[in-house]
Amino acid sequence: MGFFSTILYNIKNMKKAKKIREMGKENLLALEDEDFYEAMICLCDDAVYDIKAAGLTKEQILAYSLYMFEMEVNNGGLCQFFVNSSSDCAPFISEALEAIGATELRNLFEQFVNDNGIDVTDLSSFKITDVKEYEAQTKRFDFDSFDERFYDNEDFHQQVIDYFRCNVEQLLKN
């Protein structure tokens, strides 16, 4: 996304987020799961410009981290999560997975990073500039074994939605 496209996207998202906040908790909670999820993602995108920014609630940090983790791993696997800017959320993933009750997935994530000596607070070794570097990153570790087990977890998305529902008031804060 180019610079001006990003600005336009952010302006549109800010307007949409404002409307979502105006709906109020009760109306949001009445939405079907996927509509509710999309509304919460919009709020996350609006609230979180920097995952380490002061003023974010713990729930906003964890919700945004869950969203980025789910999106990236579903799109291209754990390696993609580590190489993209979403990796800023990596230090919060274990806590976020614990918060939604995804203990098995949290254990899998922690085992993967521990077994491979990955420091989730410093993923600079994963930064890439082109496709060739990305391909090399995918071969550094056995990402496929993590990804396959992640994809087998049918409850994860619903656990994220349930977390959003339980914490809607904290997610509505600006």
pLDDT band at 55 (very low <50, low <70, confident <90, very high): confident
CA 45 to chain centre: 10
pLDDT band at 127 (very low <50, low <70, confident <90, very high): very high
Q: Identify the residue with better confidence: 121 or 47.
A: 121
pLDDT over threshold 60, residue 137: yes
Would you state the pLDDT for residue 49? Answer: 65
**pLDDT-above-90 percentage for the chain:** 70
* Contacts of range 99-105, beta carbons closer than 8 Å, 24 or more positions apart: 99/62, 99/163, 100/66, 100/159, 100/160, 100/162, 100/163, 101/159, 102/153, 102/155, 102/156, 102/159, 104/153, 105/149, 105/150, 105/153, 105/156
pLDDT in tens, 158-172: 999 999 999 999 988
Average pLDDT over residues 66-84: 95
